[in-house]
């Protein structure tokens, strides 16, 4: 997952330790919060279409549930590691806390490549995952959702298997489901829109007109697509997009210095975010190396793919023109790169604030499922905008007041909220 010289779990713990020192957090709370509360490791035997049986490794990790049920995605990836999932479970706790929703942090994953699995094999894999976990998830325990290379159909199969085992309807068990089957309107757009709600507010604080800005984007999955759509709708111009090409097993950067037509780019990508190279070049795009997205002369860079993408080595390529980094992905920046960002005085919107729109809308979906009453898309997005904007200004104001780096300010708010819940419960 990303640069293999970095371990996401160690990164997450370093970030936590740094802020724990800053706020002088008590030692027992440090020990409790710097590691997951529970981990489930298991195997999933799946009958393949050719009659053979393949065994997959699956994981579900619950970091902390002091503020509410664990919440977090399930990802499918051939290079998935348990340490990545541990890190993501920590970040999910802080993400829920910083936007102040009553949920804790969890994360799950299966080591697999869904590109190489038929639809029926994917369904059997999803159902097998839930059979291993049914006793340890649920609407008041742990609520999974989609993540890298999983989607609403996967979630629906999982929900159906859980309901079959439990013998009752429980749509609030899993979020990110299709609309009409317990899914929330606005959920598809939520993470990407949340990124841009944060960016919009940051540019206001920096006295920068969004219509005069340019941006470069890494990734073109769900998050990046809707971030790109809203950013360009607000008047910004995207000049480069980097995405993975599954056929060539490498990334490419698609560039048009006059600005990319996002709707046209969406029309030539597949469900995994791979852009058709031939059609893109026919539309006037230059085809560059996958790493070139980071070296473009733009005002804003948006890493919206995987972790460990901004390292000292890649940061050296960043243009002096860059003013803002929006972390649409989880953990895209390594701790040693944070120091370089500070030194260059680039305004950073940290991942667990920037991309919290997804879990916020998942929370809205859970609420709607439990009420059995669903809101309009406009109402969902209005509530999402309010939540994201409020969270951004709380972090920005603390950073300004205390002279803190934005990531540290977000951590101070999140860790203090979780620590207070832990103390009030009498856990330490």
Q: What is the 3-state secondary structure (H, E, C) of 328-352?
A: CCCCCECHHHHHHHHHCCCEEECHH
Q: Name which of 180, 190, 178, 179 is nearest 225 in CA terms.
A: 190
Query: Are 255 and 230 a contacting pair, CB within 8 Å?
Result: no
Known active-site residue 277: no
Count of CA atoms in the C-beta half-sphere (13 A) of 258: 5
Distance from first CA to last CA of the chain, Å, rounded? 35
3-class DSSP state of 173: helix
Query: Are 6 and 311 a contacting pair, CB within 8 Å?
Result: yes
Residue 213 in tokens: 């800005």
Query: Are 407 and 346 a contacting pair, CB within 8 Å?
Result: no
For residue 297, give every residue at least 6 positions away whose Cβ sits within 8 Å of its Cβ, in sequence order, or none: 214, 319, 321
- The active-site residue out of 14, 54, 71, 107 is 107
Q: What is the 3-state secondary structure (H, E, C) of 133-159?
A: HHHHCECCCEEEEECCCCCHHHHHHHH
* Furthest-apart CA atoms within the chain: distance in Å: 63
Q: Name which of 56, 139, 112 is nearest 366 in CA terms.
A: 139
Q: CA-CA distance, 32 to 10, in Å (whole number)? A: 16
3-class DSSP state of 202: helix
Residue 149 in tokens: 């290379």
**CA-based R_g, the chain, Å:** 21
Count of CA atoms in the C-beta half-sphere (13 A) of 167: 0
Specify which residues 51 forms β-bridges with: none
Query: Are 323 and 298 a contacting pair, CB within 8 Å?
Result: no
Active site residues: 107
């Amino acid at each position: 997952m990303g640069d293999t010289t970095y371990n996401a779990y160690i990164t997450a713990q370093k970030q936590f330790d740094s802020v724990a020192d800053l706020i002088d957090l008590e030692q027992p709370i440090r020990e409790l919060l710097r590691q997951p509360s529970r981990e489930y490791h298991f195997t999933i035997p799946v009958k393949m279409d050719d009659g053979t049986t393949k065994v997959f490794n699956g994981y579900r990790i619950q970091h902390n549930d002091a503020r509410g049920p664990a919440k977090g995605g399930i990802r499918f990836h051939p290079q998935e590691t348990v340490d990545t999932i541990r890190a993501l479970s920590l970040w999910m706790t802080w993400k829920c806390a910083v936007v102040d929703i009553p949920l804790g942090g969890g994360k799950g994953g299966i080591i697999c490549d869904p590109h190489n699995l038929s639809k029926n094999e994917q369904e059997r894999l999803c159902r097998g995952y839930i059979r291993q976990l049914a006793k340890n998830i649920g609407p008041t325990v742990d609520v999974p959702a989609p993540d890298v290379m999983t989607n609403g159909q996967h979630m629906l199969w999982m929900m159906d298997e859980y309901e079959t085992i439990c013998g009752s309807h429980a749509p609030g068990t899993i979020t990110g489901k299709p609309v009409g089957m317990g899914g929330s309107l606005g959920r598809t757009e939520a993470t990407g829109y949340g990124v841009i709600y944060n960016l919009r507010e940051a540019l206001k604080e920096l006295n920068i007109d969004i219509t005069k800005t340019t941006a470069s984007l890494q990734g073109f999955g769900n998050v990046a697509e809707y971030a790109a759509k809203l950013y360009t709708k607000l008047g910004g111009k995207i000049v480069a997009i980097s995405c993975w090409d599954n056929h060539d097993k490498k990334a490419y950067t698609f560039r048009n210095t006059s600005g990319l037509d996002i709707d046209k780019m969406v029309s030539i990508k597949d469900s995994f975010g791979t852009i058709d190279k031939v059609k893109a070049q026919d539309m006037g795009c230059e085809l560059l190396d996958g790493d070139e997205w980071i070296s473009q002369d733009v005002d804003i860079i948006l890493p919206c793919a995987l972790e460990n993408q901004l390292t000292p080595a890649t940061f050296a390529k960043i243009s002096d023109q860059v003013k803002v980094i929006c972390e649409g992905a989880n953990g895209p920046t390594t701790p040693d790169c944070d120091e370089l960002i500070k030194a260059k005085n680039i305004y950073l919107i940290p991942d667990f604030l920037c991309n919290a729109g997804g879990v916020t809308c998942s929370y809205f979906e859970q609420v709607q499922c439990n009420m059995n009453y669903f809101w309009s898309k406009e109402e969902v997005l209005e509530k999402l905008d309010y939540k994201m904007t409020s969270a951004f200004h709380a972090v920005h104001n603390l950073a300004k007041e205390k002279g803190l780096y934005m990531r540290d300010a977000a951590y101070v708010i999140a860790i203090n909220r979780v620590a207070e819940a832990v103390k009030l419960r009498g856990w330490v």
